[in-house]
Amino acid sequence: MDVTKNDLSYNEAKLDYRALLDTATIAFAHTRNEIERLVHRTHDLNPHTNYASVARQLLDEAKRMAVAAETMHTLQEGLTRENILIINKGSNSG
């Protein structure tokens, strides 16, 4: 059962725009929830909590949230645009 309209054929990749937007929205919600969880850890002054580690985790999660938020916003606004261009298709290795 196909969940999206994404499709890979021999020399073509078709991307389901709605699925991209849904994925960005899920990523944004996930990072927001993780930030809330990490912030909650700072509410109680526990001598066993490594606050420097929590702060680093918050920073990392905030960076992920920024990517998700920008992508989600661009995809939402892209619904009103006539042309959509996908860039940065290269490999992530290195």
Tell me the domain boundaries of the chain.
Answer: 17-78
The tokens describing 22, both together, are 């849904």
Helix axes 51-78, 17-41, angle to 10 degrees: 160
Name which of 22-31, 54-63, 73-82, 83-92 the model is least confident about: 83-92
The tokens describing 40, both together, are 């909650």
Over residues 76-84, mean pLDDT = 95
Q: Which of 92, 90, 74 is nearest to 24 (CA)?
A: 74
- Using 50, 70 and 90 to split pLDDT, how confident is the model at 92? low
